[in-house]
Chain A
Amino acid sequence: MKLGVITWPGTCDDVDARLAVAKVAEPVALWHGDSDLHGVDGIVVPGGFSYGDYLRAGAIARFSPVMESVIAFARAGGPVLGICNGFQILCEAGLLPGALLPNAKLRFVCRQVDLEVQTTATPFTSTCEVGQRLSIPAKHTTGCFFGDVPSEQVVLRYAPGHNFNGSQDDIAGVVNEQGNVMGLMPHPEHAVDVLTGGSADGLKLFEGMARVPVA
């Protein structure tokens, strides 16, 4: 099982994502300018500030050569996980519904938050239970989710009192209609080891992703 992690200029959490992936699969570094996916079985679009978040978070990165391949891979049913800036990029690319707006208080916030699993009918949450709480850090300025999403596509919601960014209906993570593309604002790759993550709850999403049968 090989999971690719894409790096753009300005991506910051790519190394973290590769460290997390390494706990469940073989990590493969993918480059924004290279449309070759190197035969990976799944793709992580990591967090950071691709192209400095200039113009609009994710708006420039979605035009990179690698994204044409990612879109084709996703349309073919391959698992794609977008984290934070990766979520923003997948929304900009039209792979996920909705959009991310500036936080309600317009400030960057870095905070450990509790999330509640809404559905286990996605590869990513297949190792969780409905209603299970995951403790995962979130850190962003532009994470207020907005959009019309059928409730079956809402995978994670902020637990009561944890929705600091003002997201609609406490939505923290969504999937596409097919359920193979997921985006979330909190950072599961920063919660894979209790030593540095405060919890290892984020590992569940990567374990779920790695369990998807290779097509």
Chain B
Amino acid sequence: MSPSPDTTASVPGIENAVALGLTRGEYAMVVQEMGGREPNEVELAMFSLLWSEHCAYKHSKKLLRTLPTEGPAVVMGPGENAGAVDVGDGWAVAFKVESHNHPSAVEPFQGAATGVGGILRDIFALGARPIAILDSLRFGEPDSERSRYLLDRAVAGIGHYGNSIGVPTIGGEVVFEAPYETNCLVNAMAIGLARTEDMVRSAAAGVGNVLVLFGASTGRDGIGGASVLASAELDAEDETKRPSVQVGDPFEESKLVECSLELLQSGLLVALQDLGAAGLTSAASEMAAKGEVGLDLDVAKVPLREADMAPFEIMVSESQERMLCVCEPDKVAGVLALCEKWEVNGTAIGTVTEGKRFRILRGDEVVGDMPVSGLVDDAPLYDLAPEKPSAPLYPAPAAVLGFEADVREALIALLSSPNLASRRPLFEQYDSIVQSRTVRRPEEADAAVLYLYDMGEGAPSIAASIDGNGRRVAADPYWGTVGNALECAANLACVGAQPLGTTNNLNFGNPEKPHIAWQLTEAVRGLGDACRALEAPIVGGNVSLYNEGADGPIYPTPVVGMVGLLPDATRAGGLGFTRDGDAIALVGWDGGEAGEGSLAASELSKLRGEALPDGLPEIDVAQVVGVLDAVRAAVRAGELSSAHDIAEGGVLVAVAESCLAGGRGAALDLGDAEDVWTSLFGERSGGFVVSGPREVLERLGTSVPVSILGTVGGDRLDIAISSLSESWPLAELQDANGALAPLFP
């Protein structure tokens, strides 16, 4: 065997490096890592992928280091395949959100499907059984044919993968805004459950141990897919990128889940890692770097779909449904036997070595030889040059509701608007109940609730929510992001859950532009401050940059996912009114010190075609956290009949939603208002609409602001405010709220 690659072979050179996305400066650094030698084809392909934005977080890593990542419940923090939090009795819940934006913009069905497949692999790579999926989607306005196509196919792709693999899709959100027209967002979050002692890390260890690749065979699909697509702006040539979108096979992955979990339970593995972006290159390098070891990997042993693949193609292929594990030499036979049981291909392809070099072999020939630390740890990190833009970045949305419209028309317009209409036509395409843990299905409560029966008698439940209003972040990156995190925690409070940890997906434009750098910097500052106040540390996440199309950047969209714990599933809160005669109260806002809603960047202002304001009202975060605590305590005590947080559309939309979810009307008297529109439709963190016995609500008012608004009952929604009174039959509200159904004929 030759000790090192044939250095007389031609090297691709700097121009090819630039074509692969490296800068000239970065290429010089690579040559330095290689000890002064220019990289060959295999080495350059691997460096260019691992040093891409997607893999190396070059523009975000320094910012991410400012986020709070520690807390009493944290079992695994950022850096592992997913984060994990303690749920008691030796059990942990792992979760993470990840984006598949650019692949979905190019091919929405497979892009979204493989986004789900990828995030599920992150979960079971830890040894956790995937128990839930949530998704966060952004598209252009549905009056555009392309947006409808992307929506239809992305939803079908998520359903196809999640349904077939037997993991329930329990929640999510979808938002339609013009800035996502050419660059849609598809973020998927997965949750898994494991015994803490069974969880496995991804660090390779033990010189002489064997590297086994199992799962699907390796093809040319997705070469440079996620890592290349996610590290550049989209352009008119996107159709030609279709071959770099991976194709998913949920059946293969369902076998992979069972095989992986059984391998771990049988004690056969030292380490386990999924193959995601940058395929074998990334999976193997990361395992070696974390274990501070070297690897010899023989590409000739990798099972191929196409026989004539070059070594570099094998190393960078993003073929789906593959896992890489490390086991002791005497366990290889046992590993391969379990692979056979689950009808999964398993092959020993390499060994753990001393010396911290990653050598790529083809049989006896060395075709690549690189320092592990250079590949994984030495990618350059860049400082951002943030600058607040001097002029508005986004055009005003198209007006669909005139200022002359009255309150009656406004409520109907809001309930039927794409962002507020019922999501039933989407979520009915997802299996939300498989695995028998789902206590709150979509539209039954503000957060999904899963009963962890696996933990035995008296088992707790978890709640999960995902949120990320981009328009408010575009108006004010700091307070908008604080609002997103508080919204997530408010959703949890409504079912009685206390946050345990947070995951996030930062979807932004090109960070090399000062105004995007400013959005990103401010958003991360807001996320950190809010999660510190909520004691909901960030245990994992993902960054998706360069989300720009020909029309400019997307709205800055930090998507926040939270998982919380509730002790008693039978007391999980719901959003629908449940009992005639119950009092209805507004909790958290008092119009005075505790503030009230504002129309700035609200749904109503969007429908009216108003430009985004420069900045949002400040939030008293400590006050909001106090309100969350009080609402959560009341739900846990079983005192409330319903709890719903006030989000897009303000108080009146929240009340209408509680009416529709419970099939009961309401009569409200809101007294004299300074501004009727602000009182009815204003938005702000920390407000809730709850129902229950009047004395319970009054008692709640001794600790937090509570104003009684009215009573549950009847089949109409009646309101009186200032000199105005209006009335809607529930059937009319129901019809308006069903406006998305025609999008899914």
Contacts and interface: CB of A to CB of B under 8 A. Distances in A.
A and B assemble together:
yes
Interface of A: 9-13, 15-16, 19, 48-49, 51-54, 105, 107-111, 137, 139, 141, 187, 189-190, 193, 195-198
Nearest to B438: A196
A46 B275 CA distance: 31
Contacts of B703: none
A9 B433 contact: no
Contact of B451 (A51, A108, A196): A196
A110 B430 contact: yes
Nearest to B251: A52
A53 B254 CA distance: 13
A117 B441 CA distance: 26
A196 B439 contact: yes
Given A52-B252, A110-B431, 10 more contacts: A9-B342, A10-B164, A12-B254, A12-B434, A107-B156, A108-B160, A110-B428, A189-B436, A196-B437, A197-B436
Nearest to A192: B436
Nearest to B424: A111
21 contacts: A9-B251, A10-B251, A11-B166, A13-B166, A15-B435, A16-B434, A16-B435, A16-B436, A49-B165, A107-B744, A108-B431, A109-B429, A139-B434, A187-B433, A193-B436, A195-B439, A195-B569, A196-B433, A196-B436, A196-B438, A197-B436
Contacts of A16: 434-436
Interface of B: 156, 159-160, 163-166, 249-252, 254-255, 258, 342-343, 427-439, 441, 451, 453, 569-570, 744-745
Quick one: which of B156, B160, B429, B437 has the most chain A CB within 10 A? B429
B436 A15 contact: yes
Interface of A, helix, strand, loop or mixed by DSSP: mixed
Contacts of A193: 436
Contact of A13 (B251, B434, B451): B434
A48 B430 CA distance: 13
Given A9-B251, A16-B434, A51-B251, A108 B429 contact: yes
Contacts of B343: 9
A9 B163 contact: no
Given A49-B164, A110-B431, A10 B745 contact: no
A190 B249 CA distance: 26
Contacts of A11: 166
Quick one: which of A11, A139, A187 has the most chain B CB within 10 A? A139
A91 B405 CA distance: 58
A165 to B, nearest CB: 12
A105 B255 CA distance: 29
Quick one: which of A49, A195, A197, A198 has the most chain B CB within 10 A? A195
Nearest to A52: B251
A195 B451 contact: yes
Contacts of B439: 195-196
B114 to A, nearest CB: 15
A108 B163 CA distance: 9
Given A110-B432, A196-B436, A48 B166 contact: yes
Contacts of B251: 9-10, 49, 51-54
Nearest to B343: A9
